Structure formats: structure tokens, C-alpha cells
Chain A
């Protein structure tokens, strides 16, 4: 008897609930089934007349239908609430929207990623190396002779007599040339250290992207072509540039690339030290000694290498005048990017 009633109520509810579209109908439903004097409450009344041994079984059945109906009621209620269209005139649209959280990427990472993306599109892979480096990789294998003034070009932090904080990302070139088969075309981004006083213009650590291409027939003309392509992609198609002979122990011939100062357009300003030019990278043909140090025959292979600083370029790109602000991480700074 009782289970018949329960089944009936269940099928009534199944039929009725999907048809409810207004709050009034929903309230009517609540009164009929879920109120104190509703049909489900009356089931508990009927329970009293059930034989004792059957009470638990029916009790559970009634509990189940009660819980189920309540939760279905709630869900219809929620649906109705959300679909209730408020009168347009009631809505104050000047209230702010419910904003999604928005974080930011650090400007130095942004610059570095833009550089990486350009080189990746030109067929370069990406490799990383350690920041604690031994003197062999950081200097010796790169053709920096001991007691040569070229070592003064990079003020060095020492961890041990022959272990340093790398002064450039160039030692990664040695690591890849020793560990990977040729030909090789990779860039090597990362953090480097110089034992220099901190000021608005220079910091004791900064970031570099180094590049390397070694194959059987790589020339200085290839190097220039690569650098010009990069510079036009990165700085804009209409930039002017120049190449100057320079010196790095690990490349020969060596060059430095300048582009017209993008603040003064070449007229000369404080940033470009009144020269109209900004130095943006150093490069050259991999020195035969370096190839030899990595076990490659310089008669067979040639290659080019380049390296550029990320922090100083980021300063210029974002119009920041103090390099220290990058690492203070003030949220008022970070939230601008």
C-alpha cells in the first residue's frame, strides 16, 4: 500500500517538475509536496501504520524521496532564478562587471620570449646551461687566455678558485658543441653575473640570449643576414643599423651591431650618449680554437655566434629609466604589463 503511494508521488513529481516555469508554480509545488502538511510529510504519518519490521525499509524509501525531491526543487529554483529576466530599466549597467583575474608577465620575460620566438621561427632550438660555471667553460675553452687583459672585460664573481658565476651565456656554446652532433643551430637564454656596482644603468646580474650556428659552410655573410633579419623582426622593418669590427676572444672576425637610437631617431640623446646609435649585440665567426676545444675540425666546420643583453633592451622598449625597478617587483609596476 505505502510503496504504491510512494511510487505514485514519484511519478507525479517526475511529470510536474519539468513543466514548472514560474516562481508561483514552484511555490505551489513546494506547498503540495514539501511543506509540513505536504504529501511527503504525510508519508511519515502513514509510516506509523506500517508493521514494525517493515518500518526501516519504508523509512529509507521515504527519506530518499524527500531528499531527492528537495534537491530537485532546489535545482529548479536555481534555474528559475538565473533565467528570471530582470526588467532592463532595473539594471545599472555602470556597475563594474565581474572581472576575471588577470596576472602579468614580467617585462624581461616578455622581451626574452619575443627574441626566442623570432629565432625559433628561423630554425634555432633552445638550450640552457648552469649559472654556476667552471672557469674552463666560462673562459678557457672560449679562448680567454689566463692572464690576458680580455678577462678584464668581464668582472667575475668567484665561488671557488676555478668556479665562477657565469659572466655570459656563451659557455653553453661549449657544452652543446661538446655534447651534441653537428650541425647545430641553437640559442641559449639565461641569467649571467658581473661583479659590478649596482646603479640605475647596470646591475650585478642580467639576462642574455646567445646564439650559435655551426655547419660545414657558414660564413660571415650568413651571420649578417641572420642578424639583420632578427633586428628587423624585433626592432621594426624601418630601422637603420650598422656593423662595426669588434673583439671577443671566442669569435674572429668579431662585430658589434648598432641600430639607430629609437628614442632620438639618431639625432643623439642622453640614452645613446649623443652618438645616435645603440649597441644591441655582439657577434662573430666562432674562433677556430673554440671549435678545436670542442673536438671539431675548423677546416671542415665553421660557425657563427652572437649574444645580446635582454635587460637593457627592455629598459629602452618600455621606457624605464632605472634597471633596479625590474627586480623590486612592486605590484604597481608589475600590473602595468
Chain B
């Protein structure tokens, strides 16, 4: 909402500077978002008088003028090319430093800054301007000649009356009363303790002819239209509005149209009551019927757009057809034109819900619908109508017919709310007295009666404040007028101990661990395109009203968006991509064990890890190599161990996964928590990635839910003997199986099995590989003898060679 400082002063005496006023408005909850000084572009231009004009000695078409810019200073010499300049004229002069808004000699009309100059040998100290140059009119043929009475030295904005300040105020949806100058002035009057000055309303009616003879109003749908009033103004001449009206409207951000329409807009911005003017002669049977639209009806609004109606819209009709969508927009067929002679002026109250539904459905938002939706005052109708009727008559030479038609079957009255003083102070944390509270409420138009017990107030809320419905709303008004700054900042509230959050701590641990091991946390979009999403899951959640096709569905997997970031960096030449992300994924599938918040949708909090490119950075001490699946496997298992979950169990799948190959599932204490694998190349193609990407996904909630408090385990205090042994086996035998065999046959004396060498080679024979193990042996009871160690080793060697058809390789 734009408010004109000048306009506002009609309703309240303001001594405050624009800055102070802005501060006050903001502290009332009417936040000033911007202040615009109107006419700023005309700084440096003044009223001046041409004292003398001589021909330029060196140029035919130029003249040398003596110009008085102030009564006290020496006249200035200015070279001027305008044909109409003459001594004795009052003109507009721009001085050096002023910026001329429009350069007549520039094809694009770009502004330029004036400087003292020498033109063909004659000094010139400024410029006498045309209307076009100043942007105040279209005339470029000569300079502006002002009225003789113009005062020399007056800034031109002041002379033209365009010096104003516009405040852009963010009006919250609960304050429809502040969508007008009077509404804002009312709040300011309360805050400053001043009087609100309302315009005097006296309509000069032509008593000889009554409106009742010319028209008739009938409401068929009084739910959506509780009140409809009409006035008629005859013999109007539609033309441009006077300067003052145009300036007010322009300052408030509206474009002047003609005197009739401008008055309706002016009164809307003054009282907050939207009005509509019909051309009376375009109304069939000269009557108004308010009723619902006919289903399938087509209607063309003022802006030339055609709408097909559903039947729920409230329409203003004449004797035959619809002429306006009530409270939203008028129709082309009854619009005010230059030939309009008689105006039917509508001032009505439409139901907020009905207007909002219609405006939404038709995709129209007008200044009128905006106000009706929020709720205007149903009882300001007559004042607004009177104000507009007299102004139209005054500005168009017309006359207002006697009487007004006011169809208002059920009067809307203000709410009565009781307010307890104790409650006010309990909620606000204050100690405000009953009389102060009463004073605040009265200042904003609430009628207050003190209850018998002197502990509460009975409040009658005026109809212009539809937002005040409950006691708490009155408490807010008290708080607002008392001033939020005057309420103490209480910091001594009782401490309530919250349960320490183990989950949060665990997630922090995960983050710290990953970052300490070289991973960058990334944060990706949650919306992606459908075809990418389908690569990951068939159970996709789709947005009905997406911003674009690229952002149509919720990500089914973190990989679906993490790969975007891998792709982005890969294609920007980054060579080491070690990323993790913790975020939500979405599915329409029921996943057992997941809490369902909204039926039909499952959300999972997932830790995603992507590794791609080099394992480390280029350095002098180690060779660069690309990451592989064992980097990821090691990383994930170390992570789980690092956060205290060492009971992880791996599940080796043979089953194909749509996302990854070389997939290994991970269980902890029998709970499935996620998997690792290598992203399939057909998926990478979709992301324009041409190198391996390894991906792990862990369910964060499952991991953090696994409770693990470390328990001490006894360790052997006797010496440990390390024995190495190498087997030659067929290539397809898995190392893990051999390891398992060694552990089970070695029994309790084997404390660790490490694999230190795996290779294939011609020396070993076709289809063979060598696997070397380093075994640590010890006992909890004693130092193992060589014999005991040998017997364990023999048992191990015997069982491995037998089970896997292995041969022992000498080391």
C-alpha cells in the first residue's frame, strides 16, 4: 500500500518528519518498506524570470538571456535556443549540477547533467527547459512559460505541487482497515494522541428528481452481497481530472484515467471502500440485480479478457445481462467512456470469502478484490458513496439525483468482547492499569465500558476492524499501543531441562568423522525431473503445481540429486569428488519400520556418500590413483566403527539392483541400514558423468537408533606370535570365505587375521591366485609354545587346503 504524505495530512496534523513518521508507522506494525521522495528527479530546477533577451552574436537561432533565479543574487546569463523565449516570462531554469531527465537531442532521450558551458563563445550558466525535457509534459517545441504569479527561486516541484513523499507500507492481511489513508491516519492519531479529521460530507442533491424513478436494485444472493447501494449522477462531462487529484493518485501509485474513474479510486484510497461506476445508459432496463452467475456464462472484463463462469461467481447484472463481477472487476459492456452522460455509482459490501474464491478461480486480483477479500467496513458504504458522488458532480459539472438506494437487509454490527485486565498482563508480562488499557482501546475507535467488578472491560469493536474477534486480539492491540519496546525482556524464566538428544549427538559425530576423513558436505535440491527420478524408483511423489518440468517430483534417492553435483563438478574439471549429504528422500511406498506422518507417503532421512575421481590430492609422497569400491567399503565400515557400531554385517547380493552394481548390503545387529555399490553406467550417462562413481546410502534414523554403549572386553596379556601363510587357490574362491575358514578352524587362539597380499600371475598357473594371510596367535591363559602354534597352523592349513583345493605357497 502506497501512502502519500501530503494526502495523509488531510486527516491528521503531522509535525513529524518523514523519517519519524516512518519509524512510528513501523512500530505500530505498519512496516514502512520503502520511502520514495517524489519529484526528486527535478532537484536543481527553479522558477526564474527572463529579464532580457538578445540575439547570439555567433549563431542565428540562439539567444542570450539574462535570467533572475533568485531575488537577491545577480542574474545569470543563459544561452537558449527556444523560439518562444521572451523577456518578462516566468520560466523553469536548471542550474549546473541538475540532471535533465530527458535529452531532446539524444535519440534515446538519455538524461544528462547540466554544467556551465561556453556556447559559440558565449558563457551559459544553466538551461531554460521545455516540458518534454523535464518529463512533465510532451511539448518539446519550446520552453515552459509559467504563470506570471510564480515566485522566483521556488523549487519547481513545489511550484508544480508534485513534491510529495510516498511510503510503501507492508499491510499484513489482518489489517484491511489500513488499506486507506483514513485508516492509516486513525492508527497514527491513536499513537500520537491526536484527532482524526474526517472530510465533511454534504451532498448537493437535485431534490426535484429522485433516484427511485430512474433505477431499482435487487439482491438475490444476500449471503455474498450483504449490502448494495447506488447513487446516480447526471449530466457529467467525462474528462481529465484536475492536477491535485492526478497528483494524489500518482503518488499513491495509480494511473489517472478520467475524472469519474479517478474519483472512485480516490475514495477507495481515502476510505478503503472500493466503488464502481457504470454508464447508466448501458444498463438494460436501467436496473441492478445482484445474483450468482449462470454456469457456463461468458463474461468479458474491463481488461478485455473473456472468462467462462462456473456459476459460483457473484455477478452484478442489469435487466438482461451481467455487467460486473461483484467486487472483482467491471465489464466492458458498461464501462465509463468519453460519451458517458449519466453515472450509476455502486458502493457495496461483498463477502470476503466469495470475492476471494472468485478472484482466485479467475486469476484476477484488483485493488477492489484485494480489499473485499480482506474485509472492508460494511458500514462505511454511505460515507464513501456520498463523498464520491459529490466529487464526481463537482469535477464533471454534473448533479447528484435526490436520494440513495441502500439495500442492506441485515445490518452487520460490531462484536462485543470482554477483556480481563489480569489476562492482558499475564500474556504480555506487564502491569498495565485498567484505565490505561481503556484509553488505548478508545483511541482506536473501540467503545469501552468498565465491568462492575472493575477487573474487565466490555468492548464494542467497530466494524472496520474485522480482525478483532477474540480477547487475545484486544490484548495484541494493547501491546501494540503500549509499545513492544516498553515490555521488558525477561531472561529469568525457569529453566526447564530438555532431555539431552542422543540422536543429534550421533549425527554430529557422523558429520565430524566424515569431514575429518576428507568428505565435503553438500546440500542438494529436493525436486527433480520425472524421467531422472524414474531411474531410481517407480514410487515417486509428484508435485501437482511444479515451477517447471525440471522440478516436478520429490527425489526418491539422494543419489538422484547428489549425482547432479558430481556431474556439475566433473564437467567443471574437478578431480577429487568426495561428497556426503544428509537429507530426506520420498516415496509413495510403505516402508516397514518407518513412521508414517501423512498417509500414503514415506520419508527417510538418508546419509548419502559419493566418491569419484582421485582418492587423494596430487603430492610428492604418494602416487595418484582413482577411487574404487574398496575405498568406499573401507570408508563406510570405518565410519560405522568410528561411531561405535562395530557389529556390522555385510550382505553380498547377487540380485541385480537398478542403481548400482557390485552392491553390498549392510546390517547392524541384524537391522538392515543401507548399502554400498558402484553406480551403473547407464545412470551416469543421464548425468553426463564419464567416470566411476561409488555410492553408499545409510538410513540415518536406523543408525542412530541402534543403541550402543561400549563394553570392555578382556584382552590377552600373553605374547602374540605372528605367522604368515600363503595359499594358491582358484581365482573364483572368495577371500572372505577363506578368512572365515581360518577363523573357525584356528579357534580362540587366533586373535586376528589380516590379508596382506593378493595377486595373480603366470607363475601360479592359469586361473589361480595367491592370497597371503598374517595371523596373530595368542592365549588368555599362557604363552603359547611353538608346538601349540604349529598345531593351530597345521589345523588351519589342513582345512583350507582341503576345503578350497588350495596349495601352500612358500613365502
A158 touches B543 (CB 8 A): yes
Q: Which residue of B lies closest to A196 (CB)?
A: B547
B33 touches A105 (CB 8 A): no
A266 at interface by CB-CB < 8 Å: no
B484 touches A219 (CB 8 A): no
A60 touches B790 (CB 8 A): yes
A274 touches B34 (CB 8 A): yes
A315 at interface by CB-CB < 8 Å: no
B473 at interface by CB-CB < 8 Å: yes
Which of A23-31, A45-53, A323-331 lines the interface with chain B? A323-331
Q: A219 and B427 in contact (CB under 8 A), knowing A103-B519, A252-B472, A329-B565? A: yes
Residue A224 contacts which of B172, B480, B484 (CB distance < 8 angstroms)?
B484
B49 at interface by CB-CB < 8 Å: no
Q: Which residue of A lies closest to B492 (CB)?
A: A225
B734 at interface by CB-CB < 8 Å: no
Interface string of A309-331 (1 = CB under 8 A from B): 00000000000000000111111
Q: A104 and B490 in contact (CB under 8 A), knowing A129-B597, A274-B34? A: no
Interface string of A116-130 (1 = CB under 8 A from B): 100010011110111
Give, as a whole number of angstroms, the nearest-CB distance from B128 to chain A. Answer: 34
Interface string of A245-268 (1 = CB under 8 A from B): 111000011111000000000000
Q: A96 and B29 in contact (CB under 8 A), knowing A124-B498, A132-B586, A329-B569? A: no
Residue A327 contacts which of B490, B525, B619 (CB distance < 8 angstroms)?
B525
A108 at interface by CB-CB < 8 Å: yes
B297 at interface by CB-CB < 8 Å: no
Which of A11-19, A32-40, A148-156 lines the interface with chain B? A148-156
Give, as a whole number of angstroms, the nearest-CB distance from B246 to chain A. Answer: 28
A195 touches B621 (CB 8 A): no
Interface class of chain A by DSSP: mixed
A132 touches B520 (CB 8 A): no
Chain A residues near B522 (CB, 8 Å)?
Answer: 106, 329, 334
Q: A153 and B173 in contact (CB under 8 A), knowing A96-B619, A243-B484? A: yes
A64 touches B497 (CB 8 A): no
Give, as a whole number of angstroms, the nearest-CB distance from B392 to chain A. Answer: 30
Give, as a whole number of angstroms, the nearest-CB distance from B165 to chain A. Answer: 14
Chain A residues near B517 (CB, 8 Å)?
Answer: 101, 103
B543 touches A285 (CB 8 A): no
A224 touches B489 (CB 8 A): yes
Chain A residues near B705 (CB, 8 Å)?
Answer: none
In the assembled complex, the Cα of A102 lies from the Cα of B511 at a distance in Å of 12
A125 touches B598 (CB 8 A): no
Q: Which residue of B lies closest to A218 (CB)?
A: B493
Chain B residues near A256 (CB, 8 Å)?
Answer: 31
A186 at interface by CB-CB < 8 Å: yes
Which of B316-324, B572-580, B650-658 lines the interface with chain A? B572-580
A245 touches B28 (CB 8 A): yes
Residue A149 contacts which of B374, B521, B525 (CB distance < 8 angstroms)?
B374
A244 touches B470 (CB 8 A): no
B514 touches A103 (CB 8 A): yes
Q: Which residue of B lies closest to A57 (CB)?
A: B790
A200 at interface by CB-CB < 8 Å: no
B111 at interface by CB-CB < 8 Å: no
In the assembled complex, the Cα of A134 lies from the Cα of B356 at a distance in Å of 22
Contacting residues of chain B (535-556) with chain A, CB-CB under 8 angstroms = 541-547, 551, 554
B572 touches A252 (CB 8 A): no
A228 touches B569 (CB 8 A): no
In the assembled complex, the Cα of A68 lies from the Cα of B524 at a distance in Å of 55
In the assembled complex, the Cα of A259 lies from the Cα of B260 at a distance in Å of 46
Q: Which residue of A lies closest to B175 (CB)?
A: A247
Give, as a whole number of angstroms, the nearest-CB distance from A9 to chain B. Answer: 13
Give, as a whole number of angstroms, the nearest-CB distance from A303 to chain B. Answer: 10
| Most chain B CB atoms below 10 A, which of A134, A219, A275 | A219
Give, as a whole number of angstroms, the nearest-CB distance from B670 to chain A. Answer: 26
B426 touches A219 (CB 8 A): yes
In the assembled complex, the Cα of A131 lies from the Cα of B702 at a distance in Å of 19
Give, as a whole number of angstroms, the nearest-CB distance from A252 to chain B. Answer: 5
Residue A247 contacts which of B173, B488, B489, B600 (CB distance < 8 angstroms)?
B173
Give, as a whole number of angstroms, the nearest-CB distance from B633 to chain A. Answer: 17
Chain A residues near B580 (CB, 8 Å)?
Answer: 103
B498 touches A186 (CB 8 A): yes
A255 touches B490 (CB 8 A): no
Q: A191 and B584 in contact (CB under 8 A), knowing A108-B523, A133-B598, A165-B543? A: yes
A105 touches B521 (CB 8 A): yes
Chain A residues near B428 (CB, 8 Å)?
Answer: 219-221, 253
Contact sample, A vs B, 17 pairs, CB 8 Å cutoff:
A63-B810, A98-B619, A103-B580, A106-B522, A106-B523, A109-B511, A132-B554, A147-B353, A157-B546, A159-B554, A160-B544, A193-B526, A224-B487, A225-B488, A228-B489, A245-B27, A253-B428
Interface residues of B (CB under 8 A from A): 26-29, 31-34, 172-175, 352-353, 356-357, 373-374, 426-430, 470, 472-473, 475-476, 479-480, 484-485, 487-499, 501, 504, 508, 511, 514-527, 541-547, 551, 554, 565, 568-569, 572, 574, 576-580, 583-584, 586, 597-598, 600-601, 603, 605, 616-617, 619-621, 722-724, 786, 790, 794, 810-811
- Extra pairs beyond A64-B723, A148-B173 (13, CB < 8 Å): A64-B790, A102-B518, A132-B541, A159-B542, A159-B554, A159-B601, A219-B426, A220-B430, A221-B429, A224-B490, A288-B470, A329-B520, A330-B568
Ranked 6 nearest A-B pairs via Cβ: A221-B429, A101-B518, A245-B29, A219-B429, A247-B172, A125-B498
